[in-house]
Structure 1
Amino acid sequence: MDFKEKIKKYDNSNLRENILNSYKQFEIGIKIAEQLKLKKRKYDKIIISGMGGSAWPGDIIRTFLELKNEIKIPIIVNRDYSLLNQTTKNSLIIISSYSGNTEEAISVYKEILKKKLPMIGFSVGGKLEKICLKDKVPFIKYPDDGLTFQPRFATGYTFSSMLTVFANLEIIKNQSKDILALEKSLKKIIPSLENQGKKLAQKLFNKIPIIYSSDEFKTIAQVWTIKFTENSKILAFWNYFPELNHNEMNGYVNIKGKNFFTIILKSNITHPRILKRAEITAQMIREKGGDVEVLDMSGKNVLEKMFFSIILGDWTSYYLALLNNQDPTPVDMVEDFKKRMT
């Protein structure tokens, strides 16, 4: 299918160019974080507080560092108005809000300020920048890529800048070499992932995606569903092995119609029994009349596997949006909800 006319008609914010150039964010993220001079001290945990596209990079960082065995303290990702009793006097708190105006993140900021705990703000500006400057809280300022740029496409900035800050604080080893190698790999593979995403989007047309993965990559499955809901403007769901084999899979017994499409993200670094579970699950779903696509998470290391898969999800959801006659960038229902909350 030729998408040229649909791109011209519906991609009003030029999201395709943002995806094509997304690999450039990693080096920029490293450079802006290197400018921040911080006093080193011993921490017993890191808490990253944010929502949506400002939160899941924290999950990706945790997955990356845990699989590499690079971190000795827990990383907690908080998606709420308060940290309740999660903090200690040696906690490092990251306030992550791309816009700088996320009310949950601002609420946590005020709470932590009262507790006088170590805190760093990350945003493009907004309220968070203002209060960090006023309160003399360390602050990382992302590049401003325009009013229509969405947080879900700033993962490179967030991921690389946070990792660089953690390295500067000597919580982890410097990861710049791996991050810059990832940037080069992404530059090469993004065009071929676009072609793969186009084909997958056409299979998904008029379907509801269900994304499955192994436990270690469940964040990636969740990111895929977010891209479908925000870009394609459709419902999508996710789960992970082996948990789904103990409950959710039984829902395929009584599928109403054939409008579900299951995508299984498979990695060669996953436990052999999980790979067998994925294979049998795909077979059983097909026996019940369901559509299944098993996608190998390509890449020679953990970073490549995660980000290649995320970019494929970007392209698939982008082209599915065009098939649905939707502009993939705006999230009008979310913005309307925020207005009603004021």
Structure 2
Amino acid sequence: MKNLIEDFTKHIQHAITSANNLSLNPCSKKIDNVLICGLGGSGIGATIIAQIVAPTCSYPILVNKDYKIPAFVNENTLVVVCSYSGNTEESIEMLVLAEQQNAIITCITSGGKLAEIAQEKKYNHIMIPGGHPPRAAFGLAFPPLFQLLAHYNIIEKNYRDEFESAIKLINNEEANIILEAKNIADKLINKIPIIYAEANYEGVAIRFRQQINENSKMLCWHHVIPEMNHNELVGWTTKDEDLAVVIFRNEDDYFRNQKRIEVNKTVFSNYTSTIIEIHSKGNTRLERALYLIHLGDWVSYLIAEQKGIDVTEVNVITNLKNALAKI
């Protein structure tokens, strides 16, 4: 896992370079909306891209993480099915349902049943390198989402320049990122992390939560500002030093939300002494998101290293899939 985290920017570079060799068929149908289907490490990129392009994209983009698909899906819906292994049963079922609605289907995968279906039915699809845990293939699977949406004119650009800027930023900051990650990991060990971010960066918060779950083998939760100010904030009533607050902060956070964070910190400080603020770097939302994702990946790995556990092992998920396969 360590090598895969170290190769994060190499994965991104591979993905955007590979785009030069893509051969995708044009689409003659009118597109009204977009549904991106995917779960876990294969689906988190969908959540993040939907938030990144929201300020400029005129098409509704919905992310679906279930077996079923919404009733609005029809022949004018672009359905992007993401499954790193190509064998995620929920994703395959969503694909079948989308076919029944005559949707416009495209896929991102490294192989499996999804690749077989895409090739057999000549769906536009992007093949990415396989052999990694899905969560460690984020850098390979995330840029193709932009490439597909740009191909179908859902977004006006493929964001290649921003990806290249993010690569340069992360490479230049790598030593500082690892140092900060070590400091954060030291504070989170044997704690229950509570992750907060502005709503526009919820996907990044979810990614960090998932990495803490899978890599660090820890429970944690996340919420977003301002929504948590209307419910969860009231739950802060008991002093508990086992809790550790992590707040993602960005220069483009809405100014009223920045004020809210400052007030929230005064509440948190009454109940825990561990409040960690992580400030992103970068000139665009995409750069800042990738910076925080990479830093969070390092944190999750370093916690696992301190705990002396196998960061790659996810036996409980494997056992669940095996049990379901027998039903």
TM-score range, shorter chain: over 0.9
Q: 1:208-227 CA deviation, whole Å, 9 max, x = no partner? A: 00000111111111111101
In structure 2, the residue matched to 1:139 is 125
Contact 1:91/1:117, CA 8 A, preserved across alignment? yes
Q: Is contact 1:29–1:161 with CA below 8 Å preserved after alignment? A: yes
Residue from 100, 105, 118 that aligns with 1:114: 100
Structure 2 gap ranges (5+)? none
Q: TM-score when scaled to structure 2?
A: 0.94
Code of the residue aligned with 1:88 in structure 2: it is N
- Which residue of 2 is the match for residue 51 of structure 1? 39
Check the 8 A contact 1:20/1:191 in 2, yes or no: no
Aligned-pair Cα RMSD in Å: 1.5
Counterpart among 296, 302, 307 of residue 313 in structure 1: 296
Three-state SS of the structure 2 residue aligned to 1:233 is coil
Is the aligned partner of 1:184 residue 2:164? no
Shift of 1:162: 1.5
One-letter identity of the residue aligned with 1:197? A
Instruction: Give SS of 1:170's match.
Output: coil
Question: What percentage of residue pairs aligned between the two structures are identical?
Answer: 29
- Separation in structure 1 between the aligned mates of residue 128 and residue 272 of structure 2, nearest angstrom: 47
Quote the residue 2:220 is aligned against.
Answer: 236
C-alpha distance in 2 between matches for 1:183 and 1:294: 23
Q: For residues 276 and 125 of structure 1, do their structure 2 counterparts lie closer, same or farther at Cα, with a shift above 3 Å needed?
A: same
Partner of 1:195: 179
- The answer to which structure, 1 or 2, has the higher relative contact order (CA under 8 A, 6+ apart) is 1
The residue aligned with 2:237 is 253
Q: How does 1:1-342 map to 2 (within 5 A)?
A: 15-34=1-20, 35-41=22-28, 42-67=30-55, 69=56, 71-144=57-130, 146=131, 149-174=132-157, 175-255=159-239, 257-342=240-325
Where 1:327 maps in the other structure, the secondary structure is coil
Q: Write the letter of the residue equivalent to 2:42.
A: S
Instruction: Go from structure 1 to structure 2 and tell me whether the alpha carbon gap of 1:298 and 1:177 turns closer, same or farther (over 3 Å shift).
Output: closer
Q: Deviations over 1:98-117 (max 9, x none)?
A: 01010000001111222222
Mapped to 1, the partners of 2:8 and 2:278 lie a distance apart of: 22
Over residues 245-301 of structure 1, what are the superposed CA-to-partner deviations in whole Å (9 max), with x where a residue is unaligned?
12212222124x410100011112112221111111112211223421122222222
Could you tell me how far apart the structure 2 residues matched to 1:241 and 1:134 are?
A: 45
Separation in 2 of the partners of 1:297 and 1:309?
6
Q: Match of 2:47, SS?
A: helix
Q: Offset of 1:33 from its aligned partner?
A: 4.0
Q: Which moved more, 1:241-250 or 1:208-217?
A: 241-250
Alpha-carbon distance between aligned partners in 1 of 2:166 and 2:277, rounded to the nearest angstrom: 24
Give 1:187 deviation, angstroms. Answer: 2.0
Q: Write the deviation string for residues 63-110 of structure 1: whole angstroms up to 9, x where unpaired.
A: 11124x2x1101110001111303132110011000101000000111
Structure 1 unmatched runs, 5+ = 1-14
Aligned pairs, number: 322
Question: Alpha-carbon deviations, 1:24-53, whole Å to 9, x = none?
Answer: 122322344441322134311111101011
CA contact (8 A) 1:198 1:319 kept: yes
